[in-house]
């Protein structure tokens, strides 16, 4: 069984859809840091404004994915010609946001493990 089929089967057993996994890429802290230095990438923090105020990644735009106007605000603020590097606290909300954005034609990359993984790796955040 090839790896893609294995992952699809595992996701199906977990009640997740494989197509959702194919809509965006998950990267680790090192990969995300490389993206942040690319001028064709917009860094998007999808946590609440309160979480963002506590700490965030340099240059990140904050649009709370839990708000009803998330897609409206995203379409107004995010250029569809750039890659959207999405993160949240642990990676769950950003994966959801990346799926929603990808459905609208955005190319998205999700930070695996979120800002928790980022901080654990000793990477800098803005207060």
Write down all domains in the chain, each with its CATH number in brackets: 23-120 (3.40.250.10)
Q: Please list the alpha-helical segments (H only) found in the chain.
A: 3-13, 18-22, 29-36, 49-54, 70-77, 92-103, 114-120
Reported as a single tens digit per residue, the pLDDT across 91-110 is: 999 999 999 999 999 999 99
Catalytic residue among 9, 19, 88, 108: 88
The confidence score (pLDDT) of residue 96 equals 96
Reported as a single tens digit per residue, the pLDDT across 38-83 is: 999 999 999 999 999 999 999 999 999 999 999 999 999 999 999 9
19 tagged catalytic: no
Is the predicted pLDDT of residue 124 greater than 90, yes or no? yes
């Amino acid at each position: 069984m090839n790896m893609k089929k294995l992952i699809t089967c595992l996701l199906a057993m977990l009640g997740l859809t494989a197509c959702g996994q194919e809509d965006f890429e998950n990267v680790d802290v090192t990969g995300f840091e490389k993206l942040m230095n690319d001028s064709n990438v917009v860094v998007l923090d999808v946590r609440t404004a309160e979480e963002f105020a506590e700490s965030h990644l340099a240059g990140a735009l904050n649009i709370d994915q839990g708000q009803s106007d998330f897609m409206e605000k995203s379409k107004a603020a995010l250029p569809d010609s750039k890659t959207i590097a999405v993160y949240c606290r642990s990676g769950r909300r950003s994966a959801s946001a990346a799926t929603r954005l990808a459905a609208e034609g955005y190319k998205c990359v999700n930070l695996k493990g979120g800002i928790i993984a980022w901080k654990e790796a000793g990477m800098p955040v803005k207060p």
